[in-house]
Structure 1
Amino acid sequence: MRVLLWHVHGSWTTSFVQGRHEYVVPVTPDRGPDGLGRARTWDWPASVVELPPEELAGAGIDLVVLQRPHELELAERWLGRRPGVDLPAVYLEHNTPLHGHPDVPDTRHPMADQAAVPVVHVTGFNELFWDTGDARTTVIDHGIVDPGQRWTGELPHAAVVVNDPVRRGRSVGTDLLPDLLAAGPVDVFGMRVDQLPSADGLTTHEDLPQASMHDELSRRRVYVHTARWTSLGLSLLEAMHLGLPVVALATTEASVAVPPEAGVVTTRRSELRAAVARFLADPALAAEAGAHARKHALEHYGLPRFLERWDDVLEDALRGGGAAG
Structure 2
Amino acid sequence: MNVLVWHVHGSWTTSFVQGGHDYLIPTVRDRGPWGVGRPAAWDWPAGAVETSPERLAEADIDIVVLQRPEELELVEHWCGRRPGQDVAAVYVEHNTPRGPAAISRHPLADRDDIPIVHVTDFNQLMWDNGRAPTLVVPHGIVDPGERYTGELDRAAVVINEPVRRWRVTGTDLLPGFSTAAGIDVFGMGLGGLVERLAETPDPPAEGAVRAIDDLPQRRLHDEMTRRRLYLHPMRWTSLGLSLLEAMQLGMPVVALACTEASVAVPPEAGVVSTSVARLHRAVAELVADPDRASEMGRAARKAALAEYGLPAFLRRWDDVLGRLR
Q: If the TM-score is normalised by the length of the shorter chain, which range does it land in? A: over 0.9
| Aligned-residue RMSD, C-alpha | 0.8
Deviation of 1:272 after TM superposition, in Å, equals 1.1
Structure 2 equivalent of residue 293 of structure 1: 300
Do the aligned partners of 1:194 and 1:205 also contact (CA within 8 Å) in 2?
Answer: no
Structure 2 equivalent of residue 321 of structure 1: none
Structure 2 equivalent of residue 55 of structure 1: 55
Corresponding letter in the other structure for 1:312: D
Superposition pairs for residues 55-204 of structure 1, below 5 Å?
Answer: 55-98=55-98, 101=99, 103-198=100-195, 199-204=206-211
Query: C-alpha offsets along residues 112-154 of structure 1, whole Å, 9 cap, x if unaligned?
Result: 0321101000000000000011110000000010011100001
Deviation of 1:42 after TM superposition, in Å, equals 1.0
Q: Which of the numbers 291, 300, 312 marks the counterpart of 2:319?
A: 312
4+ long deviations beyond 6 Å: none
Superposition pairs for residues 215-234 of structure 1, below 5 Å?
Answer: 215-234=222-241
TM-score with structure 1 setting the length:
0.96
Do the aligned partners of 1:248 and 1:266 also contact (CA within 8 Å) in 2?
Answer: yes
Deviation of 1:180 after TM superposition, in Å, equals 1.2
Separation in 1, partners of 2:8, 2:82: 21
Q: Which of the numbers 254, 258, 263 marks the counterpart of 1:256?
A: 263
For residue 36 of structure 1, give the secondary structure of its aligned residue in structure 2.
Answer: coil
Separation in 1, partners of 2:190, 2:234: 15
Separation in 1, partners of 2:37, 2:166: 29
Query: C-alpha offsets along residues 46-79 of structure 1, whole Å, 9 cap, x if unaligned?
Result: 1110111011021211110000001000001111
Deviation of 1:184 after TM superposition, in Å, equals 1.4
Corresponding letter in the other structure for 1:121: H
For residue 277 of structure 2, give the secondary structure of its aligned residue in structure 1.
Answer: helix
Structure 1 equivalent of residue 272 of structure 2: 265
Separation in 1, partners of 2:176, 2:13: 34
Corresponding letter in the other structure for 1:305: A
For residue 24 of structure 1, give the secondary structure of its aligned residue in structure 2.
Answer: strand
Percent identical among aligned pairs is 62
Deviation of 1:276 after TM superposition, in Å, equals 0.4
Deviation of 1:256 after TM superposition, in Å, equals 0.3
Separation in 2, partners of 1:63, 1:79: 12
Separation in 1, partners of 2:88, 2:72: 12
For residue 158 of structure 1, give the secondary structure of its aligned residue in structure 2.
Answer: strand
Moved more, 190-199 or 24-33: 190-199
Deviation of 1:41 after TM superposition, in Å, equals 1.1
Unaligned runs of 5+ in 2: 196-205
For residue 197 of structure 1, give the secondary structure of its aligned residue in structure 2.
Answer: helix
Structure 1 equivalent of residue 213 of structure 2: 206
